[in-house]
Amino acid sequence: MQDQTAIITGAADGIGWAMAQGFAEAGYRVLIADLDGDKAASRAAELGTAHAGAAVDVTRDSDVTALAELADARFGRCDVLVNNAGIADRHLPTLEQDMEHFGRVLDVHLKGTFMMSRAIGARMIAAGSGAIVNIGSIAGVSGMPRRNAYGAAKAGIVSMTRAMACEWAGQGLRVNAIIPGYVETALVRALIAEGKIDADRLRRRIPMGHLAQPGDIAAAALFLVSGQARYITGTTLTVDGGWSAFGDSGDASSG
């Protein structure tokens, strides 16, 4: 993978940073794209001189275009795109949700994934190969009260993944999605601290008895872009410790 390049959005922290580290360890040159350009550059420096960081707002067409042009100039190719950029919703009852924030959540997750896929996908198609991994959520495939915007955005990403996969399969481009469950990131720890997530109850609800680590999601992304997955496109890979499979009453785990 020493000549291959991966662009990862929202990669200065959390799951995205774990992905950046994982892809770098696998030999990819990584372009860390994040709203915080300074932190993206700092993270890239941590990985080494073969990597780069850039500021990007995935909802702005000019930013997306500039990022694609940077990838062209710096690396001359793009083999992998991971659409990881996202923002949290506010966990509010439906009647208390404001349209400005609702629209922003959809813009970052759904519009951002579309715009990045369109810009980088065009380059992959021209090269005759490439792999895109979109990040969904269990919120997009189940009913989670107080999470309308986030759930709708993630459901849209899953649908768009399938559509793009079918459209581009004959042009050498594979598109898949990961459906993470609850991942132990700084954001989730903050929600636990604020009382918005009951950590003990959540762990009992997960058959494997614990939350995922960011590296678990990175490992799934690395699999989906690998040669081992060369005949896999248009699929959603659920990485949730059995959360979505469990349907019995009571606790799924005593962990």
Active site residues: 150
Distance of CA 8 to the CA centre of its chain: 8
Helix (H, G, I), strand (E, B) or coil at 18: helix
Residues contacting 224, CB < 8 A, separation 6+: 131, 133, 174, 176, 178, 232, 237
Residues contacting 178, CB < 8 A, separation 6+: 133, 134, 135, 136, 217, 220, 221, 224, 236, 237, 238, 239
Tokens of 164: 């793009």
Helix (H, G, I), strand (E, B) or coil at 236: strand
Q: Are 64 and 119 in contact (CB under 8 A)?
A: yes
Helix (H, G, I), strand (E, B) or coil at 202: helix
Angle between helices 148-168 and 99-106 (to 10 degrees): 30
Radius of gyration of the CA atoms of the chain, in A = 18
Cα–Cα distance, 172 to 23 (Å, whole number) = 21
